[in-house]
């Protein structure tokens, strides 16, 4: 098979793949939003699409559906270029995605959010799945704080502090974008943002009062030490982490790993 990306395949190829045992499908759930003065607004979608592809290859016998490029980004709207969906809108899109993929014959649907504002909505759809689609496994990884902690751990391997690694346009995300889309990273605009602790309290503040409650330039972290080689390592580690968490989910369960 030349590709596992469904948007690059014809319908007979997709049908043949499903009939041949490719009954798992991975769906990235990204966003279009500001990422500081140095990263493009497609950052979460680009990283999420790459992770979905790498996870699908690790899971095996899996295809990758088109990554959803817009998410719940209201807390970023004060910055230009952000496009946001209401939670009920994203939820409806996810439901329709799942409904469509079930009709395609997939029996295991994996939702992988790469933007913090999407995690809660993804979890709601996963929780509803046993009722809406009994017999189909709908799962994913929707632990926002766990995702953030793992991001900090990967940066720590290179001596990067948790504050600099950051949760948004910091060293970690910037390194991954340098690995994926170096021409779109504005190195001359690197600037630190909020570099303090980023736990449940700070996340709540951001969601309730917007990003400017913590950062004036839209950055959580410091991209100064970002590097493309590190970014490739981060992508591999994240893909391994997510694939391992999904492997922990029983095939008949709809609960996230």
* Contact present, 28 and 55 (Cβ < 8 Å): no
Here the tokens at position 187 are: 């190195």
Distance CA 182, CA 61 (A): 31
DSSP for 7-69? GGS-HHHHHHHHHTT--EEEEEE--B--BTBTB-TTHHHHHHHHHHHHHHHHH-SEEEPPPB-
Q: Which of 186, 180, 181, 184 shows the shortest CA–CA distance to 223? A: 186
Q: Please report, in angstroms and rounded to a whole number, the separation of the first and last CA atoms in the chain.
A: 29
pLDDT tens for each residue of 10-31? 999 999 999 999 999 999 999 9
pLDDT for residue 74: 98
CA angle 155-69-63, nearest 5°?
A: 85
With 0-12 / 13-18 / 19 or more C-beta atoms within 10 angstroms meaning exposed / middle / buried, residue 146 is middle
- At which residue do the structure tokens 């926002």 appear? 144
Encoded tokens for 240: 């391994």
pTM of the model: 0.95
What mean pLDDT is reported for the chain?
A: 95
Whether the predicted pLDDT of 256 surpasses 50: no
Domain spans, the chain: 6-247
Whether CATH 3.40.50.300 fits 6-247: no
Question: Closest by alpha carbon to 58, among 235, 232, 231?
Answer: 235
Q: What confidence category does residue 49 fall into, taking pLDDT thresholds of 50, 70 and 90? A: very high
- Structure confidence by residue, pLDDT tens digits, 210-247: 999 999 999 999 999 999 999 999 999 999 999 999 98
> Is pLDDT larger for residue 89 or for residue 251?
89
Provide the H-helix boundaries in 110-227: 119-132, 144-156, 162-165, 171-180, 200-209
Q: How confident is the model at residue 249 (pLDDT cuts 50, 70, 90)?
A: low
**Residues 12-20: contacts with CB under 8 Å, at least 24 apart:** 14/63, 14/104, 15/104, 15/105, 17/63, 18/63, 18/104, 18/105, 18/106, 19/105
State mean pLDDT over 127-135. Answer: 95
pLDDT > 80? residue 58:
yes
User: Do the Cβ atoms of 113 and 72 come closer than 8 Å?
Assistant: no
Distance, in Å, from the CA atom of 16 to the CA atom of 98, rounded to the nearest integer, reads 20
To which H or E segment does residue 140 belong?
Answer: strand 137-140
Please give the DSSP secondary-structure letter assigned to residue 137.
Answer: E
């Amino acid at each position: 098979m030349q590709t596992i990306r469904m948007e690059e395949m014809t319908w007979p190829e997709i049908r043949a793949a499903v009939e041949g045992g490719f009954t798992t499908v991975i769906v990235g759930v990204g966003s279009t939003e500001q990422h500081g003065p140095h990263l493009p607004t497609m950052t979460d979608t680009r990283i999420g699409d790459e992770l979905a592809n790498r996870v699908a290859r690790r899971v095996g016998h899996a295809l990758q559906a088109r990554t959803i490029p817009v998410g719940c980004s209201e807390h970023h709207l004060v910055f230009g270029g952000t496009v946001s969906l209401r939670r009920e809108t994203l939820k409806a899109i996810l439901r329709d995605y799942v409904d469509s993929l079930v009709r395609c014959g997939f029996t295991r649907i994996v939702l992988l959010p790469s933007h913090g504002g999407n995690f809660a909505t993804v979890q709601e759809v996963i929780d509803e799945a046993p009722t809406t689609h009994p017999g189909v496994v709908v799962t994913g990884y929707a632990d926002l704080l766990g995702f953030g902690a793992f991001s900090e751990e990967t940066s720590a391997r290179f001596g990067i502090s948790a504050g600099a690694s950051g949760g948004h346009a910091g060293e970690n995300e910037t390194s991954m974008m340098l690995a994926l889309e170096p021409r779109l990273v504005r190195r001359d605009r690197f600037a630190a943002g909020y570099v303090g602790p980023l736990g449940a309290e700070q996340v709540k503040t951001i969601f309730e009062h917007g990003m400017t409650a913590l950062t004036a330039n839209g950055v959580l972290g410091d991209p100064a030490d970002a590097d493309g080689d590190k970014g490739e390592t981060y992508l591999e580690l994240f893909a391994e982490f997510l694939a391992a968490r999904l492997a922990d989910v029983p095939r008949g369960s709809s609960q996230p790993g």
